[in-house]
Amino acid sequence: MDLRLKDRVAIVTGGSSGIGAATSRLFVQEGAKVAIFARDRERGERIAGEISDLGGECVFLRVDVSLEDQVREGFKVAVEKFGRVDILVNNAGIYEKGDIFSFTEKDFQELVDVNIKGVLLCTKYAVEDMRKRSSGVIVNVSSEAGIVGIQNQVIYNLTKSAVIAITKSCALDLAPYGIRVNCVCPGTTHTPLVDKAREKYKDAKPPIKILSRVRALDRWGMPEEIASAIVFLSSDIVSYATGTILSVDGGYTI
């Protein structure tokens, strides 16, 4: 399918692994140019290099999305490199378990800074460029945890619900500028973030089979499947869609 993304410029936050890396690859396959924002320089440069070696145009920029100075500079460099920003994918996110009794103030601040403030900051600076041309697309990555309650991750659930609220608010605020804002809510996906979480809590980690059985499709998702939804919502194929919240969770939230 021609998604009409040739020569579009996409910023993918958290683009150095998992869903972000898969999304960056798929954008380039569809003809877009990509700037990866991430904190891990070694991994980010490796992914950008692999994509470039396949014939795509991809650069890595070390950006912590929770820090405004770094976000501002990242967008400045990306615009200098590619001339503009057409698409922003707010994918960067971190995870921490903890119910209302056990979460710490440190957990709260770290998750809010990356998962909420990071989305707001990147949107703010992407829109500065997009509205000059009265066009642009933003795709936020939330989670099934933003739609339904999941035990023992109260702050993570809160931040992912906030991403959905940001999507709806910005869809309304940015429509007059010709900018569309949509959201993908992945289910449990085979990514380094999920693997790390399961290892950290290995004494109580549920087997993969249990996490699969709660889904109609009886399996976890793959990063490429989530990436396909993100890139689809970024394309002109669905140019009438804004404020859309798309679940890609194997049927978990049914």
According to the model, what pLDDT value does residue 23 have? 97
Distance CA 21, CA 12 (A): 8
Please report where in the chains the tokens 């378990």 appear, as a residue: 97
Average of pLDDT values for 240-254?
96
**pLDDT at position 210, please?**
60
pLDDT band at 191 (very low <50, low <70, confident <90, very high): confident
What is the model's pLDDT at position 208? Answer: 56
- From the number of C-beta atoms within 10 Å of its C-beta (0-12, 13-18, 19+), residue 209 rates as exposed
Q: In the predicted model, is pLDDT for residue 235 greater than 80?
A: yes
Residues 51, 180: Cα–Cα separation, whole Å: 27
CA 5 → CA 9, 174, 178, 181, 235, distances in Å? 9, 21, 17, 17, 7
Mean pLDDT of the chain: 92
Which range among 30-34, 50-54, 212-216, 219-223 has the greatest average pLDDT? 30-34
Instruction: Decide which of 206 and 6 is more confident.
Output: 6
Rounded percentage of the chain residues whose pLDDT exceeds 90: 84
pLDDT band at 192 (very low <50, low <70, confident <90, very high): low
Has residue 220 got a pLDDT over 90? Answer: no
177: how many CB neighbours lie within 10 A of its CB?
14
Give the separation between CA 136 and CA 235, rounded to whole angstroms. 10
Query: What pLDDT is attached to residue 3?
Result: 82
Full DSSP string of 173-205: HHGGGTEEEEEEEE-SBSSHHHHHHHHHTTTTP
Catalytic residue, chosen from 95, 125, 156, 252, is 156
CA distance 228 to 22: 9
Mean pLDDT is lowest, of 27-36, 103-112, 216-225, for: 216-225
Read off the amino acid at residue 67: L
Asked if pLDDT for residue 70 goes beyond 80, the answer is yes
Distance CA 146, CA 33 (A): 30
Report which DSSP code applies to 206: P
pLDDT score at 4: 83
Predicted pLDDT at 12 = 98
Q: 215 or 194: which carries more pLDDT confidence? A: 215
Task: Give me the domains of the chain, ranges plus CATH numbers.
Answer: 9-189+222-241 (3.40.50.720)
pLDDT in tens, 128-157: 999 999 999 999 999 999 999 999 999 999
Structure tokens at 126: 């992407």
Find the length of the chain. 254
Establish whether 240 is a catalytic residue: no
pLDDT at site 87: 98
Nearest CA-CA partner of 248 in 159, 109, 147, 158: 147
**Mean local confidence (pLDDT), 191-210:** 58
